[in-house]
Structure 1
Protein backbone atom coordinates (compact mmCIF):
# COMPACT_ATOMS: atom_id res chain seq x y z
CA UNK A 1 0.00 0.00 0.00
CA UNK A 2 1.35 3.46 -0.91
CA UNK A 3 1.67 5.96 2.01
CA UNK A 4 1.88 9.68 1.17
CA UNK A 5 5.05 11.43 2.40
CA UNK A 6 3.08 13.93 4.55
CA UNK A 7 1.70 11.17 6.72
CA UNK A 8 5.00 9.50 7.41
CA UNK A 9 7.22 10.08 10.39
CA UNK A 10 10.96 10.94 10.07
CA UNK A 11 11.86 7.43 11.20
CA UNK A 12 9.59 5.91 8.57
CA UNK A 13 11.11 8.14 5.87
CA UNK A 14 14.59 7.09 6.99
CA UNK A 15 13.58 3.45 6.83
CA UNK A 16 12.15 3.97 3.34
CA UNK A 17 15.36 5.65 2.11
CA UNK A 18 17.54 2.93 3.64
CA UNK A 19 15.37 0.23 2.08
CA UNK A 20 15.70 1.93 -1.29
CA UNK A 21 19.50 2.07 -0.97
CA UNK A 22 19.60 -1.58 0.07
CA UNK A 23 17.46 -2.54 -2.91
CA UNK A 24 19.70 -0.60 -5.32
CA UNK A 25 22.85 -2.18 -3.88
CA UNK A 26 21.29 -5.64 -4.09
CA UNK A 27 20.20 -5.02 -7.67
CA UNK A 28 23.67 -3.79 -8.67
CA UNK A 29 25.34 -6.78 -7.01
CA UNK A 30 22.97 -9.17 -8.76
CA UNK A 31 23.61 -7.43 -12.09
CA UNK A 32 27.40 -7.73 -11.71
CA UNK A 33 27.18 -11.39 -10.70
CA UNK A 34 24.78 -12.10 -13.57
CA UNK A 35 27.14 -10.46 -16.08
CA UNK A 36 30.10 -12.45 -14.73
CA UNK A 37 28.17 -15.71 -14.95
CA UNK A 38 27.04 -14.88 -18.48
CA UNK A 39 30.59 -14.20 -19.64
CA UNK A 40 31.89 -17.32 -17.89
CA UNK A 41 29.30 -19.55 -19.54
CA UNK A 42 30.74 -19.08 -23.03
CA UNK A 43 31.66 -22.44 -24.54
CA UNK A 44 35.03 -23.28 -26.03
CA UNK A 45 34.54 -24.93 -29.40
CA UNK A 46 37.33 -27.12 -30.83
CA UNK A 47 37.37 -27.44 -34.61
CA UNK A 48 39.73 -30.14 -35.80
CA UNK A 49 40.33 -32.21 -38.93
CA UNK A 50 41.11 -35.91 -39.17
CA UNK A 51 40.57 -37.69 -42.51
CA UNK A 52 37.97 -40.50 -42.41
CA UNK A 53 37.89 -40.49 -38.62
CA UNK A 54 34.09 -40.67 -38.21
CA UNK A 55 34.13 -40.29 -34.41
CA UNK A 56 31.69 -42.51 -32.56
CA UNK A 57 32.45 -41.57 -28.95
CA UNK A 58 34.93 -39.65 -26.83
CA UNK A 59 36.19 -39.23 -23.29
CA UNK A 60 38.22 -36.60 -21.44
CA UNK A 61 41.68 -37.30 -19.98
CA UNK A 62 42.39 -34.66 -17.30
CA UNK A 63 45.94 -35.90 -16.71
CA UNK A 64 46.97 -35.41 -20.33
CA UNK A 65 44.61 -32.47 -20.86
CA UNK A 66 43.08 -33.79 -24.06
CA UNK A 67 40.10 -35.69 -25.43
CA UNK A 68 40.34 -39.30 -26.59
CA UNK A 69 38.21 -40.04 -29.64
CA UNK A 70 37.31 -43.42 -31.15
CA UNK A 71 37.04 -44.05 -34.87
CA UNK A 72 34.19 -45.68 -36.77
CA UNK A 73 36.47 -46.44 -39.71
CA UNK A 74 39.86 -47.34 -38.22
CA UNK A 75 41.39 -49.47 -35.47
CA UNK A 76 42.75 -46.33 -33.85
CA UNK A 77 42.10 -43.89 -31.03
CA UNK A 78 43.25 -40.29 -31.41
CA UNK A 79 43.88 -37.49 -28.95
CA UNK A 80 42.49 -34.01 -29.52
CA UNK A 81 43.90 -31.09 -27.53
CA UNK A 82 42.18 -27.83 -26.73
CA UNK A 83 44.29 -26.25 -29.50
CA UNK A 84 42.80 -28.74 -32.02
CA UNK A 85 46.03 -30.75 -32.30
CA UNK A 86 45.23 -34.32 -33.39
CA UNK A 87 47.63 -37.18 -32.70
CA UNK A 88 47.31 -40.96 -32.96
CA UNK A 89 47.18 -42.25 -29.41
CA UNK A 90 46.65 -45.98 -30.08
CA UNK A 91 46.78 -47.91 -33.35
CA UNK A 92 45.97 -51.57 -32.68
CA UNK A 93 46.56 -53.41 -35.94
CA UNK A 94 46.15 -56.78 -34.19
CA UNK A 95 42.38 -56.20 -34.12
CA UNK A 96 40.36 -57.70 -36.99
CA UNK A 97 40.49 -55.55 -40.14
CA UNK A 98 37.82 -52.87 -40.58
CA UNK A 99 36.56 -53.14 -37.01
CA UNK A 100 35.29 -49.99 -35.33
CA UNK A 101 35.93 -48.41 -31.95
CA UNK A 102 32.50 -47.75 -30.49
CA UNK A 103 32.32 -46.74 -26.81
CA UNK A 104 35.37 -45.47 -24.91
CA UNK A 105 35.88 -44.78 -21.22
CA UNK A 106 38.93 -43.78 -19.18
CA UNK A 107 39.72 -45.39 -15.82
CA UNK A 108 41.63 -42.51 -14.20
CA UNK A 109 42.80 -44.40 -11.11
CA UNK A 110 44.29 -47.30 -13.06
CA UNK A 111 45.22 -45.23 -16.13
CA UNK A 112 43.44 -47.70 -18.35
CA UNK A 113 41.58 -46.86 -21.52
CA UNK A 114 38.58 -49.10 -22.18
CA UNK A 115 37.40 -49.39 -25.79
CA UNK A 116 34.49 -51.37 -27.21
CA UNK A 117 35.37 -53.05 -30.50
CA UNK A 118 32.66 -54.06 -33.01
CA UNK A 119 32.45 -55.16 -36.64
CA UNK A 120 29.52 -54.30 -38.91
CA UNK A 121 28.09 -56.39 -41.79
CA UNK A 122 29.24 -57.85 -44.11
CA UNK A 123 32.26 -58.48 -41.89
CA UNK A 124 32.30 -61.52 -39.60
CA UNK A 125 30.73 -61.07 -36.17
CA UNK A 126 33.17 -59.60 -33.67
CA UNK A 127 32.47 -57.91 -30.33
CA UNK A 128 35.05 -57.35 -27.64
CA UNK A 129 36.29 -55.01 -24.93
CA UNK A 130 39.90 -53.89 -25.17
CA UNK A 131 41.88 -52.35 -22.32
CA UNK A 132 45.07 -50.32 -22.84
CA UNK A 133 47.66 -49.23 -20.29
CA UNK A 134 48.24 -45.50 -20.71
CA UNK A 135 51.22 -45.57 -18.34
CA UNK A 136 53.26 -47.81 -20.61
CA UNK A 137 55.41 -46.14 -23.31
CA UNK A 138 53.60 -47.80 -26.21
CA UNK A 139 50.21 -48.01 -24.44
CA UNK A 140 50.23 -51.77 -24.53
CA UNK A 141 47.00 -53.72 -24.60
CA UNK A 142 46.16 -55.35 -21.28
CA UNK A 143 43.47 -57.70 -22.55
CA UNK A 144 40.94 -58.26 -25.31
CA UNK A 145 37.78 -59.78 -23.85
CA UNK A 146 35.45 -61.37 -26.45
CA UNK A 147 31.76 -60.65 -25.88
CA UNK A 148 29.36 -63.36 -27.06
CA UNK A 149 25.57 -63.53 -27.24
CA UNK A 150 24.03 -66.87 -28.25
CA UNK A 151 20.50 -65.41 -28.28
CA UNK A 152 20.96 -63.12 -31.32
CA UNK A 153 22.48 -63.52 -34.76
CA UNK A 154 24.22 -60.16 -34.72
CA UNK A 155 24.95 -58.72 -31.24
CA UNK A 156 26.18 -55.14 -31.02
CA UNK A 157 28.54 -54.22 -28.20
CA UNK A 158 28.08 -50.49 -27.79
CA UNK A 159 29.08 -48.45 -24.75
CA UNK A 160 31.18 -49.06 -21.64
CA UNK A 161 31.40 -47.82 -18.05
CA UNK A 162 33.40 -49.00 -15.04
CA UNK A 163 33.18 -49.07 -11.24
CA UNK A 164 35.76 -48.44 -8.52
CA UNK A 165 36.69 -52.12 -8.38
CA UNK A 166 37.80 -52.02 -12.01
CA UNK A 167 34.88 -54.03 -13.37
CA UNK A 168 33.61 -52.82 -16.73
CA UNK A 169 30.02 -52.88 -18.00
CA UNK A 170 29.23 -53.07 -21.71
CA UNK A 171 25.80 -52.70 -23.29
CA UNK A 172 24.42 -55.07 -25.94
CA UNK A 173 22.15 -52.99 -28.16
CA UNK A 174 20.49 -55.98 -29.86
CA UNK A 175 20.37 -58.51 -27.03
CA UNK A 176 19.33 -55.78 -24.55
CA UNK A 177 21.53 -56.92 -21.71
CA UNK A 178 24.76 -55.80 -20.05
CA UNK A 179 28.05 -57.68 -20.04
CA UNK A 180 30.45 -57.46 -17.12
CA UNK A 181 34.21 -57.71 -17.63
CA UNK A 182 36.57 -58.13 -14.67
CA UNK A 183 39.89 -56.25 -14.39
CA UNK A 184 41.57 -59.41 -15.68
CA UNK A 185 39.40 -59.50 -18.81
CA UNK A 186 36.92 -62.24 -17.83
CA UNK A 187 33.48 -61.53 -19.41
CA UNK A 188 30.07 -62.60 -18.14
CA UNK A 189 26.47 -61.46 -18.42
CA UNK A 190 25.70 -58.95 -15.68
CA UNK A 191 22.00 -58.19 -16.14
CA UNK A 192 19.06 -59.20 -18.32
CA UNK A 193 16.57 -56.99 -16.53
CA UNK A 194 13.06 -56.97 -18.08
CA UNK A 195 13.14 -53.19 -17.66
CA UNK A 196 15.43 -53.03 -20.68
CA UNK A 197 12.59 -54.20 -22.95
CA UNK A 198 9.58 -52.87 -21.03
CA UNK A 199 8.84 -50.06 -23.52
CA UNK A 200 7.25 -51.10 -26.83
CA UNK A 201 9.13 -50.16 -30.00
CA UNK A 202 7.69 -49.79 -33.49
CA UNK A 203 9.65 -52.37 -35.47
CA UNK A 204 8.91 -50.57 -38.75
CA UNK A 205 11.04 -47.58 -37.73
CA UNK A 206 14.69 -47.31 -38.83
CA UNK A 207 17.19 -48.68 -36.33
CA UNK A 208 14.36 -50.12 -34.22
CA UNK A 209 16.63 -53.08 -33.49
CA UNK A 210 18.91 -50.85 -31.41
CA UNK A 211 17.97 -51.08 -27.73
CA UNK A 212 20.42 -50.40 -24.92
CA UNK A 213 22.96 -47.79 -25.89
CA UNK A 214 24.83 -45.61 -23.40
CA UNK A 215 25.69 -46.71 -19.88
CA UNK A 216 26.88 -44.79 -16.80
CA UNK A 217 28.03 -46.12 -13.43
CA UNK A 218 26.74 -44.24 -10.38
CA UNK A 219 27.88 -44.59 -6.77
CA UNK A 220 24.50 -43.50 -5.45
CA UNK A 221 22.28 -46.28 -4.22
CA UNK A 222 18.53 -46.08 -4.44
CA UNK A 223 16.84 -46.08 -1.02
CA UNK A 224 15.03 -49.32 -0.17
CA UNK A 225 11.32 -49.32 -0.76
CA UNK A 226 9.24 -48.98 2.36
CA UNK A 227 6.34 -51.41 2.72
CA UNK A 228 2.94 -49.80 2.34
CA UNK A 229 0.96 -49.98 5.58
CA UNK A 230 -2.54 -50.53 4.26
CA UNK A 231 -4.11 -51.06 7.66
CA UNK A 232 -2.72 -47.83 9.05
CA UNK A 233 -4.02 -45.92 6.05
CA UNK A 234 -7.47 -47.46 6.41
CA UNK A 235 -7.60 -46.62 10.11
CA UNK A 236 -6.55 -43.04 9.50
CA UNK A 237 -9.26 -42.66 6.86
CA UNK A 238 -11.90 -44.02 9.22
CA UNK A 239 -10.90 -41.56 11.91
Structure 2
Protein backbone atom coordinates (compact mmCIF):
# COMPACT_ATOMS: atom_id res chain seq x y z
CA UNK A 1 0.00 0.00 0.00
CA UNK A 2 1.34 3.41 -0.96
CA UNK A 3 1.82 5.92 1.82
CA UNK A 4 3.26 8.78 -0.23
CA UNK A 5 -0.09 9.73 -1.77
CA UNK A 6 -0.96 11.57 1.42
CA UNK A 7 1.08 14.43 -0.08
CA UNK A 8 -1.60 14.89 -2.71
CA UNK A 9 -3.87 15.99 0.13
CA UNK A 10 -4.14 19.77 0.17
CA UNK A 11 -4.28 20.01 3.96
CA UNK A 12 -1.11 17.95 4.41
CA UNK A 13 0.78 19.84 1.71
CA UNK A 14 -0.25 23.27 2.99
CA UNK A 15 0.58 22.33 6.60
CA UNK A 16 4.12 21.50 5.49
CA UNK A 17 4.53 24.60 3.32
CA UNK A 18 3.17 27.04 5.90
CA UNK A 19 4.28 25.34 9.10
CA UNK A 20 7.53 23.48 8.44
CA UNK A 21 9.20 24.59 5.19
CA UNK A 22 10.52 27.87 6.53
CA UNK A 23 11.74 26.33 9.79
CA UNK A 24 13.92 23.52 8.43
CA UNK A 25 17.40 23.94 9.97
CA UNK A 26 20.12 24.98 7.51
CA UNK A 27 17.69 24.94 4.57
CA UNK A 28 19.51 27.73 2.73
CA UNK A 29 22.91 26.20 3.43
CA UNK A 30 21.78 22.84 2.05
CA UNK A 31 20.81 24.38 -1.28
CA UNK A 32 24.02 26.44 -1.35
CA UNK A 33 26.11 23.30 -0.84
CA UNK A 34 24.29 21.48 -3.65
CA UNK A 35 24.92 24.42 -5.99
CA UNK A 36 28.58 24.55 -4.96
CA UNK A 37 28.98 20.91 -5.98
CA UNK A 38 27.30 21.59 -9.33
CA UNK A 39 29.63 24.56 -9.87
CA UNK A 40 32.56 22.13 -9.96
CA UNK A 41 31.17 19.98 -12.78
CA UNK A 42 32.84 19.98 -16.18
CA UNK A 43 29.75 20.99 -18.15
CA UNK A 44 27.51 24.07 -18.14
CA UNK A 45 24.15 23.89 -16.44
CA UNK A 46 21.76 24.10 -19.40
CA UNK A 47 19.18 21.45 -18.52
CA UNK A 48 18.34 20.61 -14.91
CA UNK A 49 15.58 18.51 -13.36
CA UNK A 50 14.07 19.08 -9.91
CA UNK A 51 12.37 15.86 -8.80
CA UNK A 52 9.64 16.25 -6.22
CA UNK A 53 9.88 19.99 -6.65
CA UNK A 54 7.33 20.85 -3.96
CA UNK A 55 6.84 24.61 -3.88
CA UNK A 56 9.73 25.18 -6.27
CA UNK A 57 12.38 26.34 -3.79
CA UNK A 58 15.22 24.34 -5.34
CA UNK A 59 14.15 25.13 -8.90
CA UNK A 60 14.06 28.82 -7.99
CA UNK A 61 17.60 28.64 -6.64
CA UNK A 62 18.85 26.86 -9.77
CA UNK A 63 17.21 29.34 -12.15
CA UNK A 64 18.63 32.26 -10.17
CA UNK A 65 22.14 30.81 -9.85
CA UNK A 66 22.40 29.63 -13.46
CA UNK A 67 20.96 32.30 -15.78
CA UNK A 68 21.24 30.03 -18.84
CA UNK A 69 19.56 27.01 -17.22
CA UNK A 70 16.21 25.51 -18.11
CA UNK A 71 14.55 23.57 -15.29
CA UNK A 72 12.02 20.76 -15.50
CA UNK A 73 10.23 20.79 -12.14
CA UNK A 74 8.37 17.54 -11.44
CA UNK A 75 5.89 16.64 -8.71
CA UNK A 76 2.76 14.52 -8.37
CA UNK A 77 0.96 16.70 -5.82
CA UNK A 78 -1.50 19.24 -7.31
CA UNK A 79 -1.26 21.67 -4.35
CA UNK A 80 2.54 21.56 -4.50
CA UNK A 81 2.49 22.13 -8.26
CA UNK A 82 0.21 25.12 -7.80
CA UNK A 83 2.71 26.69 -5.41
CA UNK A 84 5.65 25.88 -7.69
CA UNK A 85 3.89 27.38 -10.72
CA UNK A 86 3.22 30.58 -8.81
CA UNK A 87 6.77 30.87 -7.46
CA UNK A 88 8.47 30.10 -10.77
CA UNK A 89 6.18 32.17 -13.00
CA UNK A 90 8.71 35.05 -13.31
CA UNK A 91 11.13 32.72 -15.13
CA UNK A 92 8.71 32.18 -18.00
CA UNK A 93 9.83 29.68 -20.64
CA UNK A 94 12.97 28.79 -18.68
CA UNK A 95 10.94 26.37 -16.57
CA UNK A 96 8.44 23.59 -17.19
CA UNK A 97 6.31 22.51 -14.24
CA UNK A 98 5.24 18.92 -14.86
CA UNK A 99 2.89 16.57 -13.01
CA UNK A 100 4.43 13.09 -12.92
CA UNK A 101 4.68 10.26 -10.41
CA UNK A 102 8.16 9.06 -9.40
CA UNK A 103 6.61 5.85 -8.07
CA UNK A 104 6.75 4.38 -11.60
CA UNK A 105 9.36 4.64 -14.39
CA UNK A 106 6.85 6.51 -16.55
CA UNK A 107 7.91 9.85 -15.04
CA UNK A 108 10.91 9.92 -17.40
CA UNK A 109 8.93 9.40 -20.62
CA UNK A 110 9.82 11.98 -23.23
CA UNK A 111 12.59 13.61 -21.21
CA UNK A 112 15.91 14.49 -22.82
CA UNK A 113 19.22 14.07 -20.93
CA UNK A 114 20.01 16.49 -18.11
CA UNK A 115 23.21 18.17 -16.97
CA UNK A 116 22.04 17.78 -13.38
CA UNK A 117 19.21 16.26 -11.38
CA UNK A 118 18.33 17.51 -7.91
CA UNK A 119 15.73 16.38 -5.43
CA UNK A 120 14.68 17.77 -2.07
CA UNK A 121 12.84 15.89 0.68
CA UNK A 122 10.97 13.65 -1.75
CA UNK A 123 12.59 10.30 -2.46
CA UNK A 124 12.43 9.15 1.17
CA UNK A 125 8.70 8.60 0.62
CA UNK A 126 9.36 5.80 -1.88
CA UNK A 127 9.87 2.11 -0.99
CA UNK A 128 13.53 1.14 -0.91
CA UNK A 129 13.44 -0.97 -4.07
CA UNK A 130 11.82 1.94 -5.89
CA UNK A 131 14.45 4.34 -4.52
CA UNK A 132 17.20 2.20 -6.05
CA UNK A 133 15.36 1.87 -9.36
CA UNK A 134 14.85 5.64 -9.47
CA UNK A 135 18.56 6.22 -8.85
CA UNK A 136 19.31 4.01 -11.85
CA UNK A 137 16.82 5.92 -13.98
CA UNK A 138 18.42 9.21 -12.94
CA UNK A 139 21.89 7.86 -13.77
CA UNK A 140 20.81 7.02 -17.31
CA UNK A 141 19.10 10.41 -17.76
CA UNK A 142 22.28 12.30 -16.90
CA UNK A 143 24.77 13.42 -19.48
CA UNK A 144 28.34 12.23 -18.99
CA UNK A 145 29.86 14.21 -16.07
CA UNK A 146 26.37 15.30 -15.00
CA UNK A 147 25.55 15.52 -11.30
CA UNK A 148 22.85 14.09 -9.03
CA UNK A 149 22.34 15.85 -5.70
CA UNK A 150 19.81 15.06 -3.01
CA UNK A 151 18.75 17.24 -0.11
CA UNK A 152 17.09 14.53 1.87
CA UNK A 153 15.66 13.15 5.10
CA UNK A 154 17.73 10.11 6.10
CA UNK A 155 17.62 7.58 8.93
CA UNK A 156 19.37 8.08 12.26
CA UNK A 157 21.87 5.49 13.42
CA UNK A 158 19.92 4.69 16.61
CA UNK A 159 16.53 5.44 18.20
CA UNK A 160 18.33 7.69 20.71
CA UNK A 161 19.74 9.84 17.91
CA UNK A 162 16.34 9.87 16.19
CA UNK A 163 14.71 11.16 19.38
CA UNK A 164 17.39 13.84 19.67
CA UNK A 165 16.77 14.94 16.09
CA UNK A 166 13.00 15.04 16.60
CA UNK A 167 13.40 17.24 19.68
CA UNK A 168 15.83 19.50 17.82
CA UNK A 169 13.36 19.83 14.95
CA UNK A 170 10.50 20.61 17.32
CA UNK A 171 12.57 23.39 18.87
CA UNK A 172 13.46 24.86 15.46
CA UNK A 173 9.84 24.83 14.30
CA UNK A 174 8.60 26.17 17.65
CA UNK A 175 11.05 29.10 17.56
CA UNK A 176 10.07 29.86 13.96
CA UNK A 177 6.37 29.89 14.86
CA UNK A 178 7.05 32.06 17.90
CA UNK A 179 8.69 34.60 15.59
CA UNK A 180 5.52 34.55 13.45
CA UNK A 181 3.40 35.34 16.51
CA UNK A 182 1.95 31.82 16.83
CA UNK A 183 0.61 31.41 20.41
CA UNK A 184 0.70 27.60 20.45
CA UNK A 185 2.84 25.79 23.00
CA UNK A 186 5.98 23.83 22.17
CA UNK A 187 4.07 20.59 22.79
CA UNK A 188 1.28 21.62 20.42
CA UNK A 189 3.78 22.56 17.73
CA UNK A 190 5.54 19.22 18.13
CA UNK A 191 2.36 17.19 17.83
CA UNK A 192 1.15 19.18 14.82
CA UNK A 193 4.34 19.34 12.77
CA UNK A 194 6.77 16.64 13.94
CA UNK A 195 4.97 13.80 15.73
CA UNK A 196 2.18 13.81 13.16
CA UNK A 197 0.22 10.89 11.73
CA UNK A 198 1.60 11.22 8.21
CA UNK A 199 5.13 10.42 9.45
CA UNK A 200 4.29 6.88 8.33
CA UNK A 201 4.92 8.12 4.79
CA UNK A 202 8.62 8.42 5.66
CA UNK A 203 10.72 5.42 4.60
CA UNK A 204 14.13 6.49 5.83
CA UNK A 205 17.47 4.92 4.92
CA UNK A 206 20.90 5.81 6.37
CA UNK A 207 22.86 8.12 4.10
CA UNK A 208 25.86 5.77 3.95
CA UNK A 209 23.64 2.97 2.65
CA UNK A 210 22.23 5.21 -0.07
CA UNK A 211 25.71 6.35 -1.05
CA UNK A 212 26.65 2.69 -1.51
CA UNK A 213 23.61 2.25 -3.75
CA UNK A 214 24.81 5.16 -5.89
CA UNK A 215 28.33 3.74 -6.16
CA UNK A 216 26.98 0.33 -7.18
CA UNK A 217 24.97 1.98 -9.98
CA UNK A 218 28.08 3.68 -11.33
CA UNK A 219 28.07 7.17 -9.83
CA UNK A 220 31.52 8.65 -9.16
CA UNK A 221 32.71 11.08 -6.47
CA UNK A 222 29.84 9.91 -4.26
CA UNK A 223 29.77 11.55 -0.85
CA UNK A 224 27.62 13.05 1.86
CA UNK A 225 28.48 16.73 1.53
CA UNK A 226 26.46 17.91 4.55
CA UNK A 227 24.66 16.26 7.45
CA UNK A 228 22.74 17.64 10.41
CA UNK A 229 21.16 14.72 12.26
CA UNK A 230 18.62 13.34 9.73
CA UNK A 231 19.07 16.11 7.15
CA UNK A 232 21.67 15.36 4.49
CA UNK A 233 23.02 16.54 1.15
CA UNK A 234 24.54 13.70 -0.85
CA UNK A 235 25.01 12.48 -4.40
CA UNK A 236 27.51 11.83 -7.15
CA UNK A 237 28.56 12.34 -10.75
CA UNK A 238 27.91 10.17 -13.76
Normalised by the length of structure 1, the TM-score is 0.26
Which structure has the larger Rg? 1
Say which structure is richer in strand.
1
